[in-house]
Structure 1
Amino acid sequence: MVIGASGQIGRPVVDALVRDGWEVTAASRGGGRDASWDAGVRAVRLDRSDDAALAAVVGDGCDLVVDVVAYDAGHARQLTALTGRIGSAVVLSSVSVYEDGEGRGFDTQDEPDGFPVYPVPVTESQPTVALGEATYSARKAALERELLAAGDALPATLLRAGAVHGPYSPLPRELYFVKRNLDGRDERVLAHRGESRFHPSSALNIAELVRLAAARPGSRVLNAVDPEAPSAAGIGAAVDAVMGARTRTTLVDGPPPGGTVGASPWSVPHPLVCDMSAAERELGYRPVVTYEESLPATVEWLTGVVRGRDWRECFPLMARAYPDAFDYAAEDAWRAGA
């Protein structure tokens, strides 16, 4: 069973498992199905927060549960309560659980000198934030702890994803460059000289990791990122190449020079680059796609979604996270005074 099957990650996960011979039940709030799915995929409605509904879909038991929408210890306990009826689990976590040697993490990044300084690359042995319910990172850490505590009773692979990308994303960071090209903005500004690196994770590569972990159950945490971590400027250039756009970029030393000018969704003061050796060693993992190879499908999907529409209505989550992402007036004013 795949919980959250109709989303960005769930869709390719279902495809990958079907190709590997699994009989898949695709569970989601709406009960929808993707056009690419095999006819044998069973699509069902499921309210993730309803314990009884989850237990009913699991029924007498299933060999594997893939949960791409679990966020906290409560969700973990929903799964562990079904121990004996679930053979193994693969659950999505996040690189946001990591903290640096000074106790800084994603939750401190808006504080003065609060952005974490991680080793390059980050391995799974890096310390994680304190467990809790107050923040996304703390909840994900609690999710991991609860599931790993089940041990052999419910073998669970936790996949720590980075900046997830691909079609159907609720927070498509590529929109920062795609929309500018659609709007005819041939000049852009990038803070930190465009050298920021925030490791992306293709939904297709995550699906491959799920497929491999399903075949080799175990209690473990693994990074789940792409083979390379391109810079912010590199991502912009890659989007331009796909769209046939010619742009000029002003690279600014240090943080955004004025408000959010130059603050792309990848503009971080210190790199977050993760190591994939453990997945290669434990699962025989090899990435199925690079960032650049996956980009055309993302750009095509984004272009179709936003053309002629208000991007905030299309992507309310991104609008909350980056409300001034397209403040062109502020960019023009800064450039005029620079």
Structure 2
Amino acid sequence: MVIGATGQLGRPTVDALARDGWEVTAASRGGGRDEEWPTDVRAARLDRADDAALAALVGDGCDLVVDMVAYGPEHARQLTGLADRIGSAVVISSASVYEDDKGRGFDTQDEPDGFPRYPVPIPEAQPTVAPGEASYSTRKAGLERELLGAGGRLPTTLLRAGAVHGPHSPLPRELYFVKRNLDGRGARVLAYGGESRFHPVSARNVAELIRLAAARPGARVLNAGDPQAPTVAEIGTAIDEVMAVRPDTVLVDGPPPGASVGLSPWSVPLPVVLDMTAATRELGYRPVVSYAESLPGTVDRLRSDLAVRDWRECFPRLAGVYPDLFDYAAEDAWLRAR
């Protein structure tokens, strides 16, 4: 059973598992299905917060539960409460649980000198934030602790995902470049010299990790990343190639020169790069797609979405995090002054 089956990660995961021979129940709030899934995939409605509904869908038992939407210790306890009816689990966590040797993490990044200084790359043994209710990161840490504590009863692979990308993303960072190119912008501004690296991971590569972990159950934590962690400037160039355009890139040393100038969704002052050695060693992981290879599908989807609706309507989550992502007036004013 795949929980969150119609989301960005769920769609390719259902497809990968079904084609690998699993009898898949694709559970989601709407009970929908993807047109690319094999016809024998069973779609089912599920409210993730309804304990009884989850238990009923598991029924007499299933060999594997893949949970895309688990968030917090209460969701972990839902799964461990059904441990006698579940063979193993794969659950999505986040790289945001990591903290550096001074206790800095994603939750401190807006504080003075608050951005974490992680090792490059980050191994799974890196310390994590304390579990709690304060933030996304602390709740994901609580989810992990509960599930790892039940390793003997419910073998669970936790995947600490980087910046997930793909055609169905609710937070498509690629829009920063795609929309500017569609709008005919002749220049874009990148802070930190365009060298920011925030490790991406294709939804298809996450699905491959899940497929491999399903065949090798165990209690473990693994990073989930693409084969490379390109810089933001390299990402922009790759998108330009897909769109056959050549805008100028203006690089700024140091932080963004304004609140809405040079601040891309990848703009971090220090690298966030995941070590994928353990996934290769334990699962035999080989990425099925590189970042550049995945881009045409993402760009096509963004083109079609923007053709009919404003970007804020298409991607309200992205607009909530980055409300001034396309402040062209501020960019132009800064470029003129420069």
For the residues of structure 2 that align with 1:110 and 1:309, how far apart are their CA atoms? 32
Query: C-alpha offsets along residues 3-33 of structure 1, whole Å, 9 cap, x if unaligned?
Result: 0000000000001101110000000001110
For the residues of structure 1 that align with 2:71 and 2:264, how far apart are their CA atoms? 26
Spell out the pairing of 1:22-37 with structure 2 (5 A cutoff).
Answer: 22-37=22-37
Q: 1:152 touches 1:218 (CA, 8 Å); kept in 2?
A: no
Q: 1:166 touches 1:294 (CA, 8 Å); kept in 2?
A: yes
**Equivalent position amino acid for 2:260 in 1:** T
For the residues of structure 2 that align with 1:306 and 1:56, how far apart are their CA atoms? 40
Q: Alpha-carbon deviation of 1:259?
A: 1.4
Does residue 284 (structure 1) correspond to residue 268 (structure 2)? The answer is: no
Match for residue 316 of structure 1?
Answer: 316
Match for residue 89 of structure 1?
Answer: 89
C-alpha RMSD of the superposition: 0.6
Q: 1:223 touches 1:275 (CA, 8 Å); kept in 2?
A: yes
Q: Alpha-carbon deviation of 1:308?
A: 3.9
Spell out the pairing of 1:152-301 with structure 2 (5 A cutoff).
Answer: 152-301=152-301
Q: 1:191 touches 1:257 (CA, 8 Å); kept in 2?
A: yes
**Equivalent position amino acid for 2:332 in 1:** D
**Equivalent position amino acid for 1:280 in 2:** T
Q: Alpha-carbon deviation of 1:186?
A: 1.9
For the residues of structure 2 that align with 1:297 and 1:59, how far apart are their CA atoms? 37
Match for residue 98 of structure 2?
Answer: 98
Query: C-alpha offsets along residues 271-294 of structure 1, whole Å, 9 cap, x if unaligned?
Result: 000110001110111111100011
User: 5+ unaligned residues in a row in structure 1: which ranges?
Assistant: none
Please, what TM-score do these two structures have when normalized by structure 2? 0.99
Q: Secondary structure at the match of 2:201?
A: strand
Query: C-alpha offsets along residues 70-100 of structure 1, whole Å, 9 cap, x if unaligned?
Result: 1110110000000110000000000000000
Q: Secondary structure at the match of 2:263?
A: coil
**Equivalent position amino acid for 1:306 in 2:** L
Q: Alpha-carbon deviation of 1:260?
A: 2.3
**Equivalent position amino acid for 1:54 in 2:** L
**Equivalent position amino acid for 2:78 in 1:** Q
Q: Alpha-carbon deviation of 1:258?
A: 1.4
Query: C-alpha offsets along residues 190-211 of structure 1, whole Å, 9 cap, x if unaligned?
Result: 0001000000010000000000
Q: Secondary structure at the match of 1:164?
A: strand
Match for residue 64 of structure 1?
Answer: 64
Match for residue 115 of structure 1?
Answer: 115
Q: 1:100 touches 1:116 (CA, 8 Å); kept in 2?
A: yes
For the residues of structure 2 that align with 1:12 and 1:201, how far apart are their CA atoms? 13
Q: Secondary structure at the match of 1:143?
A: helix
For the residues of structure 2 that align with 1:52 and 1:186, how far apart are their CA atoms? 55
Q: Alpha-carbon deviation of 1:249?
A: 0.6
**Equivalent position amino acid for 2:250 in 1:** T
For the residues of structure 2 that align with 1:306 and 1:77, how far apart are their CA atoms? 40
**Equivalent position amino acid for 2:117 in 1:** V
Query: C-alpha offsets along residues 288-335 of structure 1, whole Å, 9 cap, x if unaligned?
Result: 110001111111111111124210011000000000000000000111
Match for residue 305 of structure 2?
Answer: 305
**Equivalent position amino acid for 1:315 in 2:** F
User: 5+ unaligned residues in a row in structure 2: which ranges?
Assistant: none
Query: C-alpha offsets along residues 240-271 of structure 1, whole Å, 9 cap, x if unaligned?
Result: 00011110010000000111200000010000
Q: 1:208 touches 1:287 (CA, 8 Å); kept in 2?
A: yes
Match for residue 53 of structure 2?
Answer: 53
Q: Alpha-carbon deviation of 1:167?
A: 1.0
For the residues of structure 1 that align with 2:258 and 2:133, how far apart are their CA atoms? 34
How many residue pairs get aligned? The number is: 338
For the residues of structure 2 that align with 1:309 and 1:142, how far apart are their CA atoms? 38
**Equivalent position amino acid for 2:174 in 1:** E
Match for residue 73 of structure 1?
Answer: 73
Q: Alpha-carbon deviation of 1:101?
A: 0.7
Q: Secondary structure at the match of 1:65?
A: strand
For the residues of structure 2 that align with 1:76 and 1:307, how far apart are their CA atoms? 40
**Is the deviation greater in 89-98 or in 257-266?**
257-266
For the residues of structure 2 that align with 1:205 and 1:282, how far apart are their CA atoms? 16
For the residues of structure 2 that align with 1:303 and 1:276, how far apart are their CA atoms? 32
Q: Secondary structure at the match of 1:152?
A: coil
Does residue 42 (structure 1) correspond to residue 45 (structure 2)? The answer is: no
Q: Alpha-carbon deviation of 1:159?
A: 0.2
For the residues of structure 2 that align with 1:256 and 1:111, how far apart are their CA atoms? 15
Match for residue 335 of structure 2?
Answer: 335
Q: 1:312 touches 1:319 (CA, 8 Å); kept in 2?
A: yes
Q: Alpha-carbon deviation of 1:111?
A: 0.7
Query: C-alpha offsets along residues 94-131 of structure 1, whole Å, 9 cap, x if unaligned?
Result: 00000001100000001111110100000000000010
Identity percentage over the alignment? Answer: 75
